[in-house]
Chain A
Amino acid sequence: MQSKRLGWILLAPTLVILFFFGVLPFFYVVYVSFHSWNPFAVNPEMVFNGADNFRKIVFDTAFLKSIGVTVMFVVFAVLSELIIGYALAQAFMRDFPGKAIFRTIHTLPLIMAPIIVGSVWKLMTTPSIGIIPHYLEEWFGLTMNIGTSAPAAFATVVLMDIWHWTPLVTLTLIAALVSLPPDPFEQAQIDGAGKRQIFWHITLPMIAPAVVATVFIRLMDALRTVDEVWMLTGGGPGSATRFVGVHIFKEVFPKTNYGYGSTISVIVLYLTIVSCWLLYVTMLAPRSKRG
């Protein structure tokens, strides 16, 4: 076998880039998180305040609420994306006329910039100019106002996320379904297994790694998402769509509370890493070890 040195040489550029643009800024954020610092306040100096920020965060109801909202968002959005994505992936496994065209159409949302997606959804849903509230009112007599109704705003953000990211789930699941060997399915059908049994006992366990990988990447991105939600609702009304990413953004930009914003970021990053690590270690890593 070759020397390990070659391995390190190949890895070196990656490590160097991530060190200078990922690790160093991270250390800076950790450093700032132990300070009280608002560069645009009357007193713009950075003052060391020990663990005060961390103590504050435990009792910060706005922050805790944003975690709750984020968890709700992730559950609703990712679960719907998995269900719809799986249904579409299964449907794409059959042959039908125009399949390639329909698949291309279905992947289009994926290539749109989050900030554009946010703008379009805002234009579609803003009361009085948006087409969705307009026709809901005209056809069904329903009023929908994402500026004042918390459930409407939350549902719109979830719908937007489903619209934007289901294609990614569909594609990953198609990739998983395509690579499944046919034998177990034939065997199960010979043994008289029903559709539901085949799904729970054969298909699901076999595509589990892909499902977990999808949850993993969606979870990771949902926790840091800002652009889309900021464009659509600005986190409102109230705190209905104030996800942690938006919460941090609000703390850092309009309020310029860098010290406390950094503390929240460190905590959020920690929580993200821990949840992803648990997901990775328990679900992904054991399966990827091969002989």
Chain B
Amino acid sequence: MRKQSPVIGIIFWILVSVLTLFPIYWLFVISVKPAVQLFSTPDLILSDPYWGNYAKVWGDRLLRSYMLNSVIISTGNAVICTVLGFFACYALSRFNMSGKESIFFWTITNRMAPPAVFLLPLFLLMTQVYTVGEWKLLDTRIGMILVYCTFNLPFAIWTLRPTVDGIPKELDEAAYVDGANSWQVITKIVFPLCRPGLAVTLILTWVFAWNEYLLAATLTNFNARTLTTGLSEYVTTTGTEWGVMATISVFTLIPALIVFGLVQKHIVAGLTFGAVKG
């Protein structure tokens, strides 16, 4: 390959990074502007930041409870999807069940459903069918965790399948010869070997759940409202409070940033959605 001077490379990357970061920077700029300044001439350089929006959002107890809901729902959902997805992949990869490839494809069709129309049946099911006495599944954290499985569980299965398929069956067999039972083989042999794939699955499902809006906006009203739905509460008939919205967005971004940063190095190793390595 042609040798390039590192300076050109660095300039190229700085340019790409500026383009990538600009909308995020702009989000921050909006969040530190008072409402009146928002409609004046836009200025590229940030001057004289105003922290009022941050104080407002931080002081809002409701938003803090939304934050907690978001953390619980996305974490619960990501763990459930990753673990169940792993079990499903193990079953699909190791057993000769009839129709398993059809089941594999069918799972992903659940992710293809246009969400707008599926809100209504989910709402009806969660208010009228999935109830125990007075207790309804609607507006509960567990309800949202389960609803999010419809798009995250198929994704987890499709992301994990190549990883699980890539673990040689001989390892399982050797462990059986040594007297291990099925549970030990799955949890002690295969599960640890799939770690990179599991990490990526966990993180991406977490991010998808954390960022989901439409379902959360419809299927919760108070107890299980998430941070993204908090955004829409500032779109009112008297006008949108863009500054507060941007501030909530920044608050939404930070946890995702931290979680994502933690597994950066695994991301590439495990990201092989549906595709098999070379």
A residues apposed to B, CB below 8 Å = 1-2, 4, 6-8, 10-11, 13-15, 17-18, 20-22, 24-26, 28-29, 32, 88, 91, 94, 96-98, 100, 102-117, 119-121, 123-124, 128-131, 134-135, 163, 171-172, 174-176, 178-181, 206-207, 209-210, 212-214, 216-217, 220, 223-224, 226-227, 244-245, 248-249, 252-253, 258, 261-262, 264-265, 268-269, 272-273, 276-277, 280, 284-285, 287-288, 290
The answer to whether A28 and B121 touch across the interface, beta carbons within 8 angstroms, is yes
Chain A facing B: main interface SS: helix
Q: Which residues of B contact A (CB under 8 A)?
A: 6, 9-10, 12-13, 16-17, 19-21, 23-24, 26-27, 30, 38-39, 41-42, 44, 84-85, 87-88, 90-92, 94-97, 100-101, 103, 105, 107-122, 124-125, 130, 146-147, 149-150, 153-154, 157, 161-162, 165, 182, 186, 207, 210-214, 228, 231-232, 242, 245-246, 249, 252-253, 256-257, 260-261, 264, 267-278
Partner of A18, one of B6, B153, B186: B153
B interface, by DSSP: helix, strand, loop or mixed?
helix
**A252 vs B157: C-alpha distance in the bound complex, in angstroms?**
31
Closest CB-CB distance, A262 to chain B, in whole Å? 5
Contact B150 A113 (CB under 8 A): no
Kindly identify which residue among A15, A106, A134, A245 contacts B114, using a CB–CB cutoff of 8 Å. Answer: A245
A206 to B276, CA, bound (A): 10
B103 engages A11 (CB within 8 Å): yes
A131–B39 Cα gap in the complex (Å)? Answer: 11
Q: A130-B42, A213-B274 given as contacts; is B116 within 8 A of A252 (CB)?
A: yes
State whether A179 touches B267 (Cβ < 8 A). Answer: no
B113 contacts A213, C-beta separation under 8 Å: no
B108 touching A220 by the CB < 8 A rule? yes
Q: Are B13 and A102 in contact (CB under 8 A)?
A: yes
- A287–B276 contact, CB under 8 A? yes
B105 close to A10 (CB less than 8 A): no
